[in-house]
């Protein structure tokens, strides 16, 4: 069995990839996917630690996180669709009606 | 766990479970209420919130655990339950007139508002990191939708999307922080975290500190602390003003409820390593919020930066969290200031809504010229709120800031208190500018009749004045709103 460090390192890499993706990508859908990557990095860490501690609760938390992520997808995608219908673009740089 | 104990858990958290049940019921009722009958849903929402307040007050003085230590009823959560339910009531009153004058009257608004209030209440009761995460989402997701309520107006959609993306980004930080704390301690309950640290059972102290810092970032986004504040001005400006008023107080207060519970009950026994970080965040937030507010010509943006600055003052009082014997003062002064901020916040936004017109007009500072002679009542209310925001003696804002500064000084952070006082002086410039424009310049501002908005403004102004002179009982209540220790 691989030591838990490997899993945690992988989850950290995924989390950083997600965070960097949110900051540098300009397409709303890709930004959104990067956020999901961050949540799934946390899921991986939860499962790895749950295995390490032999505790079921860590695995149950993953279900909570997945349910919340699904709710966020429902709201987020409908917002993106609404924006696309109105402006025919999903580039964040075009979303700058307000400044100051 | 038997069904019986599960039932009693729901009874222990009755104000919360009742409100969420009521909100779920309203989802269904909404389908059967004809769109023309616009009074039914607000009325039902108000009934639910009033019942919640009654149930919360009935719990005063009690303290009990629920769901095997995942949530708790104590003086602290009762205080916040009442605060959030009253914010919900004010939110309904503000929305009732505003939605009609903006042609947005849709009944879903009130259901979403109730769910958000439920999330805030759960946040103040949560004693498990996962429940804090769930509560945060329960309060945020309805707010994302409400921010976009003025759709198809472009600004509103844009505000909703920005709020959503940064909110989800922040949740990512929070949940990863929770995962790391879970990894370090093997548990997510605050009591378990404290135990693990005391027992020296930490897997890796580094993991724990990083996890705590990531959680601070996640909650920092929610309460709009610099440098995690970039979304605030755009979202506050673009969202329908009734939503802005509600989330400026609600989301901030809920975020601080969670920060207080985590930092005062679980972390001081763990480490005070985050004190310098909090110090810098508080100083930056107070400074940047107040300085950038000066440059704003749009009243919604100005109030948005003002709310950032106030998050800084609240965070400032949290800095001495790690010192023994001071946690009661930290919590009492924060709660008192939150109430003071709530009154001025709702009142000021109510005045903004009376002047706001459908085509985004009436939001510039110049639109307030002549309000003093055109509508002396509104101008007087606005003056009270601005003075209280600025903390001019002897207003309620001054009393609140006095308690905050006293806490900071007791903690020995003299320089932080000095920064706080200096930035307060800066803030007086832009708050008093509104007063000067209202009374000294000629103009012809257009106001809506909006009886509920005017009532709200009047009641909030009366509250600020009354608590200025008779704030003692409130402060006593805030001091007794103790957190359950582990």
Residues of B in contact with A68 (CB under 8 A): 133-134, 137, 171
Task: Answer yes or no: are the C-beta atoms of B84 and B120 closer than 8 Å.
Answer: yes
- Does B201 have pLDDT greater than 80? no
pLDDT score, position B381: 96
Is the pLDDT reported for residue A35 higher than 80? Answer: yes
Give the residue, B310 or A55, on which the prediction is more confident: B310
Stretch A60-78: mean pLDDT, rounded? Answer: 94
- B contact test, residue of A5, A12, A49 with most B CBs within 10 A: A49
pLDDT of residue B6: 59
B208 in reach of chain A (CB within 8 A)? no
Contact A39 B130 (CB under 8 A): no
Q: Give the per-residue pLDDT at B68.
A: 84
Q: pLDDT grade, residue A44 (50/70/90)?
A: very high
Test the B interface: residue of A9, A20, A51, A98 with most B CBs within 10 Å: A98
pLDDT at B3 over 60: no
Q: For residue A7, which residues of chain B lie inside 8 Å, CB to CB? A: none
Rounded to whole angstroms, the Cα distance separating B363 from B369 reads 12
Tell me how close the Cα of A26 comes to any Cα of chain B, in angstroms. 12
Question: What pLDDT is attached to residue B5?
Answer: 58
Identify the pLDDT of residue B270: 62
How far is it, in rounded angstroms, from Cα B434 to Cα B424?
A: 16
Q: Which of A36-40, B102-106, B146-150, B342-346 is least confident? A: B102-106
Contacts of B173 in chain A (CB under 8 A): 19, 38
Nearest to B68 by CA among B118, B130, B128: B128
For the stretch B267-303, pLDDT in tens is 766 665 788 899 999 999 999 999 999 999 999 999 9
Residues of A whose CB is below 8 A from B186: 49, 53, 55
The pLDDT score that the predictor gives to residue A99 is 61
User: Does B134 reach chain A within 8 Å, measured CB to CB?
Assistant: yes
Give the H/E segment covering residue B271: none
For the record, the structure tokens of B71 come out as 């949530």
* pLDDT surpassing 90 at residue B422: yes
Q: Which residues of A touch B153 (CB under 8 A)?
A: none
CA distance, residue B209 to nearest chain A CA (Å): 15
Q: Please compute the mean of the pLDDT values over residues B402-431 and round it to a whole number.
A: 94
Of residues A7 and B3, more confidently modeled: A7
- CA torsion, ordered B38, B43, B44, B46, to nearest 10 deg: 140
| Contact (CB, 8 A) for B145 and A75 | yes
Mutation for A interface: B146, B176, B178, B304, most A CBs within 10 A: B176
For the residues B355-384, what does the mean pLDDT come to?
Answer: 90
pLDDT for B272 equals 58
DSSP one-letter code for B263: I
Give me the pLDDT at residue B106, please.
83
What pTM does this model have?
0.94
CB contact under 8 A, A72 and B155: no
The whole-chain average pLDDT of chain A stands at 91
Element (H, E) at B167: helix B154-185
Average pLDDT for B210-234: 92
CB B388 within 8 A of CB B396: yes
**Average pLDDT value over all residues in chain B:** 91
ipTM at complex level: 0.96
pLDDT given for residue A56 in this prediction: 87
* Cβ A43 vs Cβ A65: under 8 Å: yes
d(C-alpha B385, C-alpha B391), whole Å: 10
Note the pLDDT tens digit of each residue in B323-337.
Answer: 877 888 899 999 999
Question: Which is more confident, B434 or B393?
Answer: B434
Query: What percentage of chain B carries pLDDT values higher than 90?
Result: 67
Task: Give backbone dihedrals phi and psi of B425, rounded to 5 degrees, phi first.
Answer: -65, -45
Q: B154 vs A19: CB contact, 8 Å cut-off? A: no
Among A76-90, B27-41, B406-420, whose mean pLDDT is lowest?
B27-41
In sequence order, the β-bridge partners of residue B189 are B128
CA A30 to chain B, closest CA, distance in angstroms equals 11
Q: What is the pLDDT of residue A20?
A: 96
Percentage, residues of chain B above pLDDT 70: 97
The DSSP symbol for B71 reads E
As a whole number, mean pLDDT of residues B218-224 equals 93
User: By the 8 A CB rule, do B312 and B463 touch?
Assistant: no
Q: Look at B171 and A39 and tell me if their CB atoms are within 8 Å.
A: yes
pLDDT 10s digits, B239-276? 999 999 999 999 999 999 999 998 888 876 666 578 88
Q: What sign does the CA torsion over B234, B239, B242, B245 have? A: negative
B355 with B446: CB under 8 angstroms?
yes
Q: Which one has a higher pLDDT value, B269 or B379?
A: B379
Which residues of A touch chain B, with CB atoms under 8 Å apart?
A: 4, 8, 11, 15, 18-19, 22, 28, 31-32, 35, 38-39, 41-43, 45-46, 48-49, 52-53, 55, 57-58, 61, 64-65, 68, 71-72, 75-76, 79-80, 82-83, 86-87, 95, 97-98, 100
Confidence of residue B116 (pLDDT cuts 50, 70, 90): very high
Our CA angle for B455, B457, B458, nearest 5°, is 65
CB B147 within 8 A of CB B245: no
CA A73 – CA A88 distance, rounded (Å): 20
Residue B1 has a pLDDT of: 42
Beta pairing partners, B73: B64
CB-closest option in A55, A95, A100 to B301: A100
What pLDDT, on a 0 to 100 scale, did the predictor assign at position B2? 46
Nearest CA in chain B to A59: B179
Using the predicted structure, report yes or no on whether residue B51 has a pLDDT greater than 60: yes
Name every chain A residue with its beta carbon within 8 A of the beta carbon of B233.
Answer: 98, 100
Among B158, B177, B308, the strongest candidate for a mutation testing the A interface, having the largest count of A CBs within 10 A, is: B158
Is the Cβ pair A61, B130 closer than 8 Å?
yes
- Tell me the C-alpha distance between B326 and B409, whole Å: 11
Residue with structure tokens 């107070």?
A: B286
Which of the residue ranges B9-13, B15-19, B119-123, B172-176 would you say has the lowest mean pLDDT? Answer: B9-13
Closest approach of A39 to chain B, Cα-based (Å): 5
Q: How many CB atoms lie within 10 A of CB B272?
A: 15
Segments in B186-224 forming alpha helices (H): 190-198, 205-223
Identify the residue whose tokens are 């616009």: B38
SS3 state of residue A1 = coil
Query: Which DSSP helix (H) or strand (E) runs through A99?
Result: none
Q: Provide the 3-class DSSP secondary structure of residue B364.
A: strand
Chain-chain contact of B160 with A22 (C-beta, under 8 angstroms): no
B322 vs B99, higher pLDDT? B99
B161/A79 touch (CB, cutoff 8 Å), yes or no: yes
């Amino acid at each position: 069995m691989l030591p838990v460090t490997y899993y945690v390192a992988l989850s950290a890499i995924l989390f950083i990839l997600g965070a960097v993706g949110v900051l540098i990508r300009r397409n709303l859908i890709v930004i959104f996917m990067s956020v999901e990557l961050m949540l799934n990095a946390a899921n991986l860490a939860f499962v790895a630690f749950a295995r390490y501690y032999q505790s079921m609760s860590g695995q149950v938390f993953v279900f909570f996180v997945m349910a919340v992520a699904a709710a966020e997808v429902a709201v987020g995608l409908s917002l993106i669709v609404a924006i696309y219908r109105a402006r025919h673009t999903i580039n964040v740089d075009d979303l700058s009606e307000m400044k100051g | 766990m038997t069904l019986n104990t599960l039932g009693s858990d729901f009874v222990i958290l009755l104000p919360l479970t009742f409100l969420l049940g009521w909100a779920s019921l309203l989802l269904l009722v909404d389908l059967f209420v004809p769109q023309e009958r616009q009074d039914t849903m607000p009325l039902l929402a108000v009934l639910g919130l009033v019942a919640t307040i009654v149930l919360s007050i009935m719990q005063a003085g009690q303290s009990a655990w629920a769901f095997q230590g995942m949530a708790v009823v104590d003086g602290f959560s009762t205080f916040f339950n009442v605060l959030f339910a009253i914010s919900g009531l004010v939110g309904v009153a503000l929305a009732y007139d505003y939605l009609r004058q903006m042609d947005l009257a849709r009944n879903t608004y009130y259901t979403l508002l109730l769910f958000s209030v439920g999330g805030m209440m759960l946040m103040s009761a949560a004693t498990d990191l996962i429940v804090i995460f769930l509560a945060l989402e329960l309060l945020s997701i309805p707010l994302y939708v409400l921010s976009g309520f003025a759709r198809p107006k472009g600004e509103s959609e844009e505000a909703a999307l920005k709020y959503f993306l940064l909110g989800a980004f922040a949740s990512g930080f929070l949940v990863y922080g929770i995962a790391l704390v879970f990894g370090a301690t093997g548990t997510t309950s605050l009591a378990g975290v404290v135990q693990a640290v005391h027992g020296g059972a930490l897997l890796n102290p580094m993991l724990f500190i990083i996890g705590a810092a990531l959680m601070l970032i996640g909650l920092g986004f929610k309460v709009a602390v610099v440098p995690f504040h970039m979304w605030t001005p755009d979202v506050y400006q673009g969202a329908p003003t009734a939503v802005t008023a509600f989330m400026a107080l609600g989301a901030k207060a809920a975020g601080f409820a969670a920060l207080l519970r985590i930092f005062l009950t679980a972390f001081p026994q763990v480490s005070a390593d985050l004190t310098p970080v909090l110090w810098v965040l508080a100083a930056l937030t107070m400074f940047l919020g107040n300085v950038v507010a000066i440059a704003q010509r749009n009243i919604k943006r100005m109030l948005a930066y003002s709310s950032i600055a106030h998050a800084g003052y609240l965070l400032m009082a949290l800095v001495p969290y790690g010192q023994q014997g001071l946690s009661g003062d930290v919590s009492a002064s924060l709660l008192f200031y939150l109430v003071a901020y709530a009154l001025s916040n709702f009142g000021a936004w109510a005045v903004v809504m009376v002047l706001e017109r459908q085509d985004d007009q009436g939001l510039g500072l110049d639109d307030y010229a002549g309000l003093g002679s055109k509508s002396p009542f509104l101008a007087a209310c606005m003056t009270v709120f601005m003075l209280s925001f600025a903390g001019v003696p002897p207003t309620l804002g001054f009393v609140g800031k006095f308690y905050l500064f006293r806490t900071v000084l007791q903690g020995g952070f003299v320089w932080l208190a000095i920064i706080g006082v200096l930035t307060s002086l800066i803030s007086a410039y832009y708050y008093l500018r509104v007063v000067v424009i209202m009374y000294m310049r000629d103009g012809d501002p257009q106001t809506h009749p909006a009886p509920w908005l005017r009532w709200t403004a009047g009641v909030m102004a009366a509250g600020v004045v009354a608590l200025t002179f008779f704030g003692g009982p409130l402060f006593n209540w805030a001091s007794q709103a103790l957190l359950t220790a582990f």
